[in-house]
Structure 1
Amino acid sequence: MSDAATIYTEESYAHVRNLLPRTGAVSNSIGDATAEGNELTMQLSNPYLGDQARAALGAAGVTDKFLLSRSNQDLFGDNPVTVSSDTYRSVLGVRGTFAAFGKTTHYDASASYGRSDLSGTGRQVRDIEYALAVDAVRDAEGRIVCRAQTAAGAGILGQTPYGVVGEEIVRERDASGVMVEKRLRRVVTAAQIAACRPMNVFGYGQMSAAARDYVTAPTSLTNHSEMIFAQSSLSGPILDLPAGALRYAFFGEYRREQLAYHTDDLTRTGGTRLVAIAATEGHVQTAEFGGEASVPLFGGAFTAPLLRQLSFDPGIRFVRQSGAAPDVRSLDGSTLVQREAGRWNRVYSLAGTWRPVVPLLVRGNWTHSIRQPNVTELFLGGQPAFTSPTDPCSSGEIGQGVHPATRLANCRRAVIDAGLATDTAGADQFLNGYVPSGAAITGVFNGSPGLRPERGRSWTVGAVFTPAFAPHFKLGGDYVHVLLEDQIVPTDIDTAMQLCLDSPHYPDNRADIGVNTCGFFKRLPADNQRAFEIANGFNMGFINQGKLQVEAANATLDDVVPLDGLFGADAGKLVLHGNVYRLFHYLSAADNDLAHAEESAGSIGVSKWRTQWRGGYEHGGFFAQWVWNWASATHAFSAGAPIEGTNERNEVRDFIRVPAYSLHDASIGYAFGAQRRFGLTFNVSNVFDKLTAGPMVQSYAFRAPAYPNTIIDDFGRRFTLSVDVKW
């Protein structure tokens, strides 16, 4: 518009289609404890069973029923899954300068809108249809049919077939539009019986196409997310000091993020092997404002011995997040009001640099930061779940945990409160013989509107060395110390019970972690056959739990080597970069006490050493580069029990080891024309097609095949061709 104002815009669109060409099917296995996934109970009279197999079973003593495990991969074949997304983004802003305090002040203000529409499709096993189709018999005419279609199976109408979870907790909108939580009983219908096609489950791929279509169904999901973002800033010099200009920056931001996730009705109501998946809707909005300054104390013409440069760079911002999601009427009739009012949080950084001599720059900072909970963590729709919990009060668990004496006292109180004993002696007698049945129970996983932000405190100190005799050479190093508190983590019912029963504040442990996990579950009353066991209807969610402490060092090396003097007047240059990362400690403590922390540095996936070396050649518009990434060997270990009198712990699996590995990438390209407006780049990722770190080493005497934790690249070698055009 003028020298003082420029209007700018950015428009982008991306369409991404992901195809997973082959996925594993859900199996039926004798090793699976879930209702739908456990082994099949088959009849010896099943008409699909071959005579040879029937004779073998009979010889083994089977006269009626036997158990069968199968992978079910033949129901789907490759079972491909596709996910597609369309992403739009638009930015409009204005920036420029004006005079203030006799100086030039810069301003920038913009607003942007982003949106992503994602959809996914796959195929799943229908629970009830699978159970009906597997139970094949011959009818009076000798035809193979589903038992439910004969007089012998007439009683199954309106019932839950064997091997199917009959009740799900779902959310549906009522006539007024309010989301209502209710129990959905899934039973066999007349339509399911009429459509049933018997299925041959013996061997691979022996079932008919009609049976395959009957027991499987297409499923889908959609996810719509959008963001509105606005920002403005002012910056510039405000005062001339002896060492240079005192500079400032003020800024303000506003963000609104919205999410809407939905699945098809079959998935929403739990009609497949997946648990029922509820919709998630909600939004968060964040306001931030703050300022930064750069204060030069020494520098330029104003110096002193060992003070060639000294600057102080403080910054502060204030952040508040709020949000909301549709209210939910819970099973007990109460209304779950999903609102997060939020409060103002302060984020600040104190940084500085010091140059005692020209080649050496020393730097450091102290930072206090936060991470706000996102929409999912705050407002995840109640996702049904079922599990077989491990009760901390059971006879096999009551002596475990980091505070076994506290757990014992709390379990005694729980027994007395449940009416199963009147004193400590009676409670001990009950607990000594208490062995839960192991039955699966149902519950819900929710978002947690009351979450606090994660809080981080960190400090770093480092230096950069640039010698005068090699102006293109730069060597840097930093030490980093990070402490993260109030981590936002999903918790399962086992963890919730442990946090509750190991707390000195039982039966309300919110003083420990900000949330009362004792309210996440209830026990069956004394008059129940499974008295004291965990009842259906448990709640799980995200909680602020645990501390994380990381200590590491990082060193970098950069150099540019002109080749003109070596190979002619115009020979190009070499560009070199190296990075070495050393992890000293990665401590995590679920109970917020680092004295009980688990050390993960050096464990599988958390290498103590990582390096990257990058070398490139540039000449005119041509460039080529090779990148080598390396990670040190790791091993699997457990925190174990503390060794008395020391800070060390007994490692019980440190003989399981994954070797060090390397990954290599390469690229080559050319930018055409004097102004380099058209360019081509060809890139090869994972040049040597390395998928795993190598065989896992168990002890030092033999090698075992690689297992999932040794996978370092899911795709292997891949190629990218990029075309860039500028005008």
Structure 2
Amino acid sequence: MSADQLTKAAPSTIADSLRTLPALTATSGPQRASGTQGGGQSFLNLRNLGAVRTLTLLDGRRFVAASQFGTVDVNLLPAGLIQRVDVVTGGASAAYGSDAVAGVVNFVLDTKFEGLKGEVSTGIADEGDNQELRGTLTGGIALADSRLRLLGSAEYYRNKGILEGERAWARRGSNLINGPAGGPALIAAEDVRAIGSYGGMITTGNGGTAAQNALFRALQFGPGGTVLPYSYGSYSTATQQIGGDGVNTELLQEINRPLERAAFFGRAEYDLTDQWSVFGEASYGWSDTRYSTSTNRHLATNPITIRRDNAFLPAQLRTLLDANPQVTSLTMLRWSIEGGLADVAVDTKTDRYVAGFKGEIGGLKVNGYYQHGRTRQQTDVINNEITPNFTRAVDAVVNPANGQIVCRSTLTNPNDGCAPFNPFGVGSPSAAALAYTRGVSRTDSVFKEDVAAINLSGTLFEGWAGPISFATGGEYRKEQAQLAVDPLSQAGAFLFANPQPWAGKYDVKEGYIETVIPLLKDLPFARELEFNGAVRYTDYSTSGGVTTWKAGLSWTPVSSLRLRATRSRDIRAPNLSELFTSGRTQSATVVDPFKNNVRTSGIFITTTGNAALQPEKADTLTVGAVYQPTFLPGFSISADYYDIKINDAIGSLSAQQGVDQCFAGNQLACGFITRDAAGNISALTAYPINLSTLVTNGVDVELSYRVPFADTTNSLSLRSIISYVGKLATTTPGSPSIDRAGEVGINSNPHWRVNAQADFTRGSFNWFNQLRFIGGGRYDNTKGPQAVSLQHIKPQAYWDMRFAYRFEDLGKGAEMYFNVQNVLNQEPPYAPGDGSIAVATNTQLYDTFGRVYRVGFRFKF
């Protein structure tokens, strides 16, 4: 893909442009998603096999990771200098290096650019939000008789995001809820709310008779602690309800997370002789984002206990307790919004330095480089409840010595600093109580990468059908990560996150050889036949040596037809996080088949690393053809079938997968589940394991036609990329294979994706149109009509359009453009997520912004 094509497809960022390609639709960005991961970064994800299986390169060289998972933030690459983006699949590990199981995305820079160019653009959504500002400036100059070439590029980007509930579809409370007896276990509904309230509500009394305890059920608290009846709506389960006074969790997270970032890149190259040159590169980038995840919440899984002598009891509640002395305590649920939501702030800074050379020896090309990169990332969970402090603060009593309200703990430890917390009604807690019960969970991460590589290539000798060429080389790479956390997180004291400190490193040694051997040439039905092959040996300090290889044939029987096939072995070794993470906690929602499919939210799941992991090994087959008929000049069609089978695939069972597989008899999965005395799930554990297999296959088709015009100032180019996924199946030990292909609800795997473009130019005027089609499919392939009422989701199509006018008399050309994405303002389909916080649609797959306008100006001198 050329930079011009990508800019027309989506002028915001390179990552957004690449997301329009069917093979990269699931690429992540700042779009809404549950949890604290991915703060403002964009990670590429080929074939939805996971970003960790896509190798991202800059000019064929690695770029330092921006996360503990080893993934590269493409927002840090110099957008103003990108000439094209090559997406390579099939045998990529042997040719490009380890970790390229799904393939390689290589950003190629225009290192010979001379002059000055730039772009400034601004955008806004139809609803008046999603305000965006972007600017790039790039310059290049040749000095000393063109022996010295200097390049510099800078980019600034800011997006103010889309607040929670700012779209009609995001205010409806779309979610799944346990259905009534006799129907599906889960039903899809709107206005689904979590049981509880912002001011607190009582679910039951404790210690009395059943009748006495029930007297306190469904009492909630308004401003000032006013006691009000709580409405469970038209229908309720243990943790959810439809309508009534519950909490619409759809209103707790931004639809698009705000982001501000900048990137700077510099390059110098000097020709020592006509054959030898040296170069150096330096880049620096930063990004800042702050977004909401949830409130500090106490649900059925972690309720508040209010004792009968609580000093803040409203008078009406105290009177009721006095009339029922056997009731010793009350159970309260509360979603606390005082002090704001529990926000996540992520500040990331990345710098990278490269020094290298290139030249010729005896007609052979040689090049080498050394790279050092470092990412420093600070992740804060702000306004995070400190659980032991809250437990002490909410247990407030009257000090008999002076009549003041204090924490019960203060009576025995007067200097404990506890400030009593009033939970009755929104705004009731004091500033001192909030300061005592809230804190910041902080993670300071440092990721480092050092790479040294040398390559030699050229022609071995002239063969019987043409020159036999080769390339060989070696690479050494060292990856390091170190995460430090605050003392409270290390002690597990916060309600959310509680990351644990860890450090890890490994080094990799690689050597490879490639060759292209022409076999036949200029013969009947063999205009050209050539073999291409590669072998690479990779030695990991953590898991030992692995050999990757590829073998391919390219056959041109006639001038208009080329056939190709590649068979390869690719690998991915476990990344630092998968090996060394010591603990990361988040919440999950689980449907428990052991308990009549009751749906429970707020269950905490802790993820750890696994030092015993072994590398993944993928066997890949690609077979394809390119046809360019002579009777229709300008037309081309290519079709490729791919089949990838990953053995020992590394992955963790999701919360729901673990419970489902335990129910199916998988004892390994049962070991991840902790239950309380009543048999209810109280906690989950997850760690990566080498799953049995992950298999995917499908077909990619590309059609293009450039319509001939007598007037060369006019042009019309038509292009369509079609992707069909036939299978995406995972097999875990002790369980049957699960095929997720065609699943567009809880995953992003439609069978069909299409991107169709029409690019028309008449003189200085350009009109570009793009259609993005996402096929329909199942909500969840593993759940039939008796398990969930939502079975099918309809196909979706989005129309984008761009007008541009080129001013030829301004330097080397300038262009003003106006872009509209999602012209018809299509809403995303109803496809609720399965997390603790309601997400009404699949945010990775569908457009959640609505119609967005952008206007920009590009110049070049």
Is the TM value for this pair above 0.5? yes
Q: Does 1:575 align with 2:717?
A: yes
Q: Which residue of 2 aligns with 1:196?
A: 418
Q: How many angstroms apart in 2 are the aligned matches of 1:603 and 1:60?
A: 53
Query: 1:479 aligns to what?
Result: 641
Q: CA deviation at 1:227?
A: 0.9
Other-structure match for 1:662: 797
Give the equivalent residue in structure 2 for 1:560: 706
* Aligned mate of 1:124, from 359, 381, 384: 384
Task: Tell me how far apart the structure 1 counterparts of residues 655 and 459 of structure 2 sit (CA, whole Å).
Answer: 56
Residue among 297, 301, 309 paired with 1:27: 297
Q: 1:225 to 1:199 in 2, by over 3 A?
A: same
In the alignment, is residue 602 of structure 1 matched against residue 737 of structure 2? no
1:91 aligns with 2:354: yes
- Quick check: 1:454 aligned with 2:676? no
Separation of aligned partners in 1, 2:802 and 2:476? 39
- Of the structure 1 ranges 662-671 and 493-502, higher mean CA displacement relative to structure 2 is found in 493-502
Aligned to 2:626: 464
Indicate if the aligned counterparts of 2:286 and 2:347 stay in contact, CA closer than 8 A.
yes
Q: Which runs of 5+ in 2 are unaligned?
A: 1-271, 833-837
Q: For the residues of structure 2 that align with 1:683 and 1:86, how far apart are their CA atoms?
A: 32
Shift, 1:288, TM fit: 1.0
Q: Which residue of 1 aligns with 2:370?
A: 111
Q: How much does 1:478 deviate?
A: 1.2
State whether structure 2 residue 546 is matched by structure 1 residue 345.
yes
Alignment partner, residue 467 of structure 2: 245
Structure 1 unmatched ranges of 5 or more:
158-189, 323-339, 398-437, 507-516, 641-648, 698-704
Alignment of 1:632-647 (within 5 A): 632-639=775-782
The residue aligned with 1:218 is 440
Q: Is the 8 A contact 2:407 2:419 kept in 1?
A: no
Per the alignment, do residues 665 and 263 of structure 1 end up closer, same or farther by CA in structure 2, a change over 3 Å counting? farther
1:42 to partner: Cα distance: 1.7
Tell me whether 1:3 sits opposite 2:313 in the alignment. no
- Aligned equivalents of 2:717 and 2:782: distance in 1? 44
Q: Are the counterparts in 1 of residues 532 and 552 from structure 2 also a CA contact under 8 Å? A: yes
**Secondary structure in 2 matching 1:23:** strand
1:682-709 Cα deviation digits (max 9, x unpaired):
6858435968632359xxxxxxx98344
Q: Structure 1 residues 208, 684: closer, same or farther in 2, change over 3 A?
A: farther
Q: How far off is 1:213 after superposition?
A: 1.5
Residue pair 1:47, 1:144 contacting (<8 A) in 2 also = no
With over 3 angstroms needed to count, the CA separation of the structure-2 counterparts of 1:554 and 1:149, relative to structure 1, is: closer
What aligned pairs does 1:247-396 form with structure 2 within 5 A after superposition? 247-274=469-496, 276-299=498-521, 302-304=522-524, 306-322=525-541, 340=542, 342-381=543-582
Task: Check conservation: 1:139, 1:145, Cα contact below 8 A.
Answer: yes
The superposition leaves residues 380-402 of structure 1 with CA deviations (integer Å, 9 ceiling, x where unpaired) of: 2355899999999x9x99xxxxx
* Letter matched to residue 223 of structure 1: S
For residues 463 and 277 of structure 2, what CA distance do their matches in structure 1 show? Answer: 31
Listed one character per residue, the Cα deviations across residues 176-231 of structure 1 (whole Å, up to 9, x for unaligned) are xxxxxxxxxxxxxx643xx2222221222222222222211123221111111122
CA distance in 1, matches of 2:780, 2:654: 23
Matches within 5 A, 1:148-159: 148=408, 151=411, 154=412
Q: Is the 8 A contact 1:488 1:545 kept in 2?
A: yes
1:695 aligns to 2:841 (yes or no): no
Once the two structures are superposed, what CA deviation does each residue of 1:350-395 show, in whole Å capped at 9, x if it has no partner? 1111122221111111111111111111222355899999999x9x
Map Cα deviations across residues 142-164 of structure 1 (whole Å, 9 max, x no partner).
7552342665xx3xx6xxxxxxx
2:450 aligned partner = 228
Q: Which has the larger radius of gyration?
A: 1
Answering whether residue 691 of structure 2 is matched by residue 545 of structure 1, we say yes
| Kept after mapping to 2: 8 A contact 1:658/1:693 | no
Alignment of 1:488-503 (within 5 A): 488-490=650-652
SS of match in other structure, 2:544: coil
8 Å CA contact 2:619–2:646 kept in 1: the answer is yes
SS state at 2:334 partner:
coil
Q: CA separation in 2, counterparts of 1:694 and 1:501?
A: 31
Supply the RMSD in Å over aligned alpha carbons.
Answer: 4.5
Deviation at 1:9, TM superposition (A): 2.3
**Secondary structure at 1:278 match in 2:** coil
1:522 deviates by: 13
2:455 alignment partner, SS class: strand
Shift of the 374–723 alpha-carbon distance from structure 1 to 2, 3 Å rule, reads: farther
TM-score where L is the length of structure 2: 0.59
| Structure 1 position 476, deviation (Å) | 0.9
**Is contact 2:698–2:724 with CA below 8 Å preserved after alignment?**
yes
Deviation at 1:124, TM superposition (A): 0.6
Cα 1:207–1:521 shift into 2, 3 Å: closer
| More divergent stretch after superposition (455-464 vs 675-684) | 675-684
| Counterparts of 2:275 and 2:566, CA distance in 1 | 35
Confirm or deny that 1:707 pairs with 2:840: yes
How many positions carry a matched residue from both structures? Answer: 578
Q: Is the 8 A contact 2:587 2:604 kept in 1?
A: yes
8 Å contact from structure 1 (residues 601, 608) kept in 2: yes
3-state secondary structure, aligned to 1:69: strand
- Percent identity between matched residues is 22
Instruction: Confirm or deny: 8 A CA contact 2:311 2:405 kept in the other structure.
Output: no
- For residue 615 of structure 1, report the CA deviation from its aligned partner: 2.5
Query: What residue number does 2:835 align with?
Result: none
Q: For the residues of structure 2 that align with 1:252 and 1:550, how far apart are their CA atoms?
A: 31
SS at match of 1:214: helix
Q: Per chain length, whose mean CA-contact separation is higher, i.e. which structure has more relative contact order (CA < 8 Å, sep 6+)?
A: 2
TM-score norm. by structure 1 comes to 0.69
